[in-house]
Amino acid sequence: MRRYGTAVFVAPLMAAALLAGCGGQESAPAPQEQAGAGNAVAEPAARPGTLAVTDAWVRLAPVAGRPAAGYFTVRGGGAPERLVSISSARVATIELHESGMNDGMMTMRRIDGVDVPAGGEAAFAPGGNHAMLFGVDPGVKPGDLLLLDLTFASGEKLAVEAKTFATGDAPVAAPKSGVQGAEHGGEHSGH
Ligand SMILES: [Cu+2]
Protein backbone atom coordinates (compact mmCIF):
# COMPACT_ATOMS: atom_id res chain seq x y z
CA MET A 1 0.00 0.00 0.00
CA ARG A 2 1.49 3.30 -1.05
CA ARG A 3 1.19 5.99 1.54
CA TYR A 4 0.84 8.87 -0.90
CA GLY A 5 -2.03 7.12 -2.64
CA THR A 6 -3.80 6.76 0.67
CA ALA A 7 -3.26 10.39 1.57
CA VAL A 8 -4.88 11.63 -1.63
CA PHE A 9 -7.81 9.33 -1.10
CA VAL A 10 -8.34 10.43 2.48
CA ALA A 11 -8.39 14.18 1.91
CA PRO A 12 -12.16 14.55 1.35
CA LEU A 13 -12.81 12.44 4.42
CA MET A 14 -10.71 14.76 6.52
CA ALA A 15 -12.99 17.64 5.63
CA ALA A 16 -15.94 15.57 6.72
CA ALA A 17 -14.12 14.70 9.93
CA LEU A 18 -13.83 18.35 10.87
CA LEU A 19 -17.57 18.73 10.44
CA ALA A 20 -18.29 15.76 12.64
CA GLY A 21 -17.28 17.77 15.67
CA CYS A 22 -15.56 15.24 17.84
CA GLY A 23 -12.64 13.89 15.90
CA GLY A 24 -14.73 12.28 13.22
CA GLN A 25 -16.21 8.82 12.96
CA GLU A 26 -17.22 8.89 9.35
CA SER A 27 -14.65 6.81 7.56
CA ALA A 28 -14.33 3.11 8.02
CA PRO A 29 -10.71 2.13 8.50
CA ALA A 30 -9.41 -1.38 8.86
CA PRO A 31 -6.18 -1.46 10.82
CA GLN A 32 -5.51 -5.03 9.86
CA GLU A 33 -5.25 -3.88 6.26
CA GLN A 34 -2.85 -1.03 6.98
CA ALA A 35 0.14 -2.94 5.69
CA GLY A 36 1.90 0.25 4.69
CA ALA A 37 2.01 1.58 8.23
CA GLY A 38 4.45 -1.01 9.45
CA ASN A 39 4.03 -3.92 11.77
CA ALA A 40 0.49 -4.96 12.46
CA VAL A 41 -0.72 -5.27 16.01
CA ALA A 42 -0.33 -8.84 17.09
CA GLU A 43 -3.79 -10.27 17.55
CA PRO A 44 -4.08 -12.85 20.25
CA ALA A 45 -6.11 -15.67 18.79
CA ALA A 46 -9.43 -15.43 20.55
CA ARG A 47 -10.53 -18.82 21.78
CA PRO A 48 -14.22 -19.60 21.58
CA GLY A 49 -15.90 -19.00 24.87
CA THR A 50 -13.27 -16.57 26.09
CA LEU A 51 -13.93 -12.87 26.53
CA ALA A 52 -11.42 -11.05 24.33
CA VAL A 53 -10.70 -7.72 22.71
CA THR A 54 -9.34 -7.57 19.16
CA ASP A 55 -8.71 -5.12 16.33
CA ALA A 56 -7.98 -2.19 18.61
CA TRP A 57 -6.85 1.08 17.10
CA VAL A 58 -6.99 4.77 17.89
CA ARG A 59 -7.42 7.72 15.59
CA LEU A 60 -5.45 10.58 17.07
CA ALA A 61 -6.98 14.04 16.88
CA PRO A 62 -6.13 16.22 13.86
CA VAL A 63 -5.62 19.17 16.19
CA ALA A 64 -3.70 19.06 19.46
CA GLY A 65 -5.98 19.16 22.46
CA ARG A 66 -8.94 17.55 20.73
CA PRO A 67 -10.08 14.10 21.80
CA ALA A 68 -8.98 10.95 20.02
CA ALA A 69 -11.31 8.08 19.16
CA GLY A 70 -10.72 4.43 19.94
CA TYR A 71 -12.17 1.40 18.16
CA PHE A 72 -12.05 -2.32 18.82
CA THR A 73 -14.15 -5.47 18.90
CA VAL A 74 -15.13 -7.22 22.11
CA ARG A 75 -15.81 -10.93 21.67
CA GLY A 76 -18.15 -12.38 24.21
CA GLY A 77 -17.27 -15.33 26.40
CA GLY A 78 -19.51 -17.99 27.81
CA ALA A 79 -21.73 -15.57 29.69
CA PRO A 80 -23.26 -12.19 28.90
CA GLU A 81 -20.91 -9.39 29.84
CA ARG A 82 -20.99 -5.62 29.86
CA LEU A 83 -18.14 -3.27 29.16
CA VAL A 84 -18.40 -0.43 31.66
CA SER A 85 -15.18 1.56 31.52
CA ILE A 86 -11.84 2.03 29.82
CA SER A 87 -8.72 3.64 31.16
CA SER A 88 -5.14 4.19 30.05
CA ALA A 89 -2.07 5.38 31.87
CA ARG A 90 -1.48 7.81 28.99
CA VAL A 91 -4.99 9.25 28.70
CA ALA A 92 -6.61 11.53 31.29
CA THR A 93 -10.21 10.42 30.71
CA ILE A 94 -11.84 7.84 28.46
CA GLU A 95 -15.59 7.81 27.90
CA LEU A 96 -17.79 5.33 26.09
CA HIS A 97 -19.76 7.06 23.35
CA GLU A 98 -22.34 6.08 20.80
CA SER A 99 -22.82 7.89 17.51
CA GLY A 100 -26.04 8.53 15.70
CA MET A 101 -27.62 10.74 13.11
CA ASN A 102 -29.82 13.66 14.10
CA ASP A 103 -31.30 15.85 11.36
CA GLY A 104 -28.57 14.69 9.04
CA MET A 105 -25.82 15.60 11.49
CA MET A 106 -23.64 13.00 13.14
CA THR A 107 -24.00 13.34 16.87
CA MET A 108 -22.64 11.44 19.82
CA ARG A 109 -23.53 10.93 23.42
CA ARG A 110 -21.96 9.33 26.40
CA ILE A 111 -23.19 5.89 27.41
CA ASP A 112 -22.54 4.02 30.64
CA GLY A 113 -21.79 0.64 29.16
CA VAL A 114 -22.13 -1.70 26.22
CA ASP A 115 -23.53 -5.21 26.41
CA VAL A 116 -21.45 -8.06 25.03
CA PRO A 117 -23.60 -11.10 24.27
CA ALA A 118 -22.35 -14.53 25.25
CA GLY A 119 -20.65 -15.95 22.19
CA GLY A 120 -21.33 -12.77 20.24
CA GLU A 121 -19.45 -9.57 19.84
CA ALA A 122 -19.74 -5.83 20.36
CA ALA A 123 -18.04 -3.74 17.70
CA PHE A 124 -16.70 -0.29 18.37
CA ALA A 125 -16.32 1.18 14.90
CA PRO A 126 -16.44 4.50 13.06
CA GLY A 127 -20.02 5.72 12.88
CA GLY A 128 -21.06 3.66 15.87
CA ASN A 129 -19.87 3.08 19.38
CA HIS A 130 -16.42 4.39 20.17
CA ALA A 131 -14.14 5.23 23.03
CA MET A 132 -13.53 8.96 23.38
CA LEU A 133 -10.05 9.73 24.65
CA PHE A 134 -9.68 13.10 26.35
CA GLY A 135 -6.28 14.37 27.35
CA VAL A 136 -4.06 11.99 25.41
CA ASP A 137 -0.40 12.24 26.41
CA PRO A 138 1.13 14.52 23.74
CA GLY A 139 4.05 12.11 23.63
CA VAL A 140 1.83 9.53 21.94
CA LYS A 141 2.76 9.62 18.26
CA PRO A 142 1.11 7.94 15.26
CA GLY A 143 2.22 4.34 15.05
CA ASP A 144 2.68 4.02 18.80
CA LEU A 145 0.83 1.35 20.70
CA LEU A 146 -1.48 2.71 23.36
CA LEU A 147 -2.39 0.31 26.15
CA LEU A 148 -6.09 0.39 26.99
CA ASP A 149 -7.51 -1.28 30.09
CA LEU A 150 -11.10 -2.41 29.71
CA THR A 151 -13.21 -3.12 32.78
CA PHE A 152 -16.37 -5.22 32.66
CA ALA A 153 -19.38 -5.35 34.93
CA SER A 154 -18.33 -8.72 36.32
CA GLY A 155 -15.06 -7.19 37.48
CA GLU A 156 -13.05 -8.81 34.73
CA LYS A 157 -10.38 -6.62 33.18
CA LEU A 158 -8.71 -6.95 29.81
CA ALA A 159 -5.78 -4.99 28.45
CA VAL A 160 -5.33 -4.40 24.74
CA GLU A 161 -2.69 -2.59 22.71
CA ALA A 162 -4.26 -0.16 20.27
CA LYS A 163 -2.24 1.05 17.34
CA THR A 164 -2.49 4.79 16.86
CA PHE A 165 -3.01 6.57 13.56
CA ALA A 166 -2.89 10.21 12.57
CA THR A 167 -6.25 11.34 11.23
CA GLY A 168 -4.98 11.58 7.67
CA ASP A 169 -3.27 8.20 7.82
CA ALA A 170 -6.22 6.27 9.16
CA PRO A 171 -6.99 3.45 6.74
CA VAL A 172 -10.10 3.87 4.64
CA ALA A 173 -11.21 0.37 3.72
CA ALA A 174 -14.29 -1.09 5.36
CA PRO A 175 -13.37 -2.86 8.57
CA LYS A 176 -13.73 -6.61 8.55
CA SER A 177 -14.86 -6.55 12.12
CA GLY A 178 -17.08 -3.49 11.97
CA VAL A 179 -20.35 -5.37 11.92
CA GLN A 180 -22.61 -4.46 14.80
CA GLY A 181 -24.26 -7.22 16.74
CA ALA A 182 -23.67 -10.84 17.37
CA GLU A 183 -23.33 -12.13 13.83
CA HIS A 184 -19.76 -12.58 12.74
CA GLY A 185 -18.28 -13.33 9.36
CA GLY A 186 -21.41 -12.55 7.39
CA GLU A 187 -20.22 -9.76 5.20
CA HIS A 188 -16.91 -11.27 4.20
CA SER A 189 -17.82 -14.92 4.07
CA GLY A 190 -18.55 -14.80 0.35
CA HIS A 191 -16.03 -14.77 -2.44
CU1 LIG B 1 -17.32 10.69 20.96
The neighbouring-strand residues paired with 94 are 133
What are 3-46's pLDDT values in tens digits? 444 444 444 444 444 444 454 444 445 444 444 444 555 555 55
Q: Which residues in 82-102 are b (16+ Cβ under 10 Å) and which e?
A: ebebbebeebeebbbbebeee
- Set out the domains of the chain in order of their start, with CATH numbers: 3-169 (2.60.40.1890)
pLDDT band at residue 55 under the 50/70/90 scheme: very high
Cα 64 to ligand 1 centre (Å): 16
pLDDT classification of 172: cutoffs 50, 70, 90? low
Q: What is the pLDDT of residue 45?
A: 58
Find the 131 Cα to ligand 1 centroid distance in Å: 7
* CA of 189 relative to ligand 1 center, distance in Å: 31
pLDDT beyond 80 at 96:
yes
Distance (Å) from CA 60 to ligand 1 centroid: 12
Across 93-109, average pLDDT:
92
Given a cut of 70, is residue 68 above it in pLDDT? yes
Share of the chain above pLDDT 90, in %: 55
pLDDT of residue 22: 55
Q: Determine the average pLDDT of the residues in 149-176.
A: 84
> How much distance in Å is there from the Cα of 11 to the middle of ligand 1?
21
Whether residue 81 is predicted with pLDDT greater than 80 in this model: the reply is yes
According to the model, what pLDDT value does residue 46 have?
A: 53
Q: If you measure from the C-alpha of residue 110 to the centroid of ligand 1, how many angstroms do you get, rounded to a whole number?
A: 7
Q: pTM above the 0.85 mark?
A: no
Distance 96 CA to ligand 1 centre (A): 7
Task: Name the pLDDT band for 186 (thresholds 50, 70, 90).
Answer: very low
CA 1 – ligand 1 centroid, Å = 29
**Distance from Cα 191 to the centre of ligand 1, integer Å:** 35
Q: 120: CA distance to ligand 1 center in Å?
A: 24
Q: How far is the CA of 47 from the centre of ligand 1 (A)?
A: 30
pLDDT at 169: 79
Ligand 1 geometric centre to CA of 190 (Å): 33
For the cut 90, the answer to whether the pLDDT of residue 133 exceeds it is yes
Share of the chain above pLDDT 70, in %: 64
Cα(48) to centroid(ligand 1), Å = 30
Mean pLDDT across the chain: 76
How many whole angstroms from 121 Cα to the centroid of ligand 1?
Answer: 20
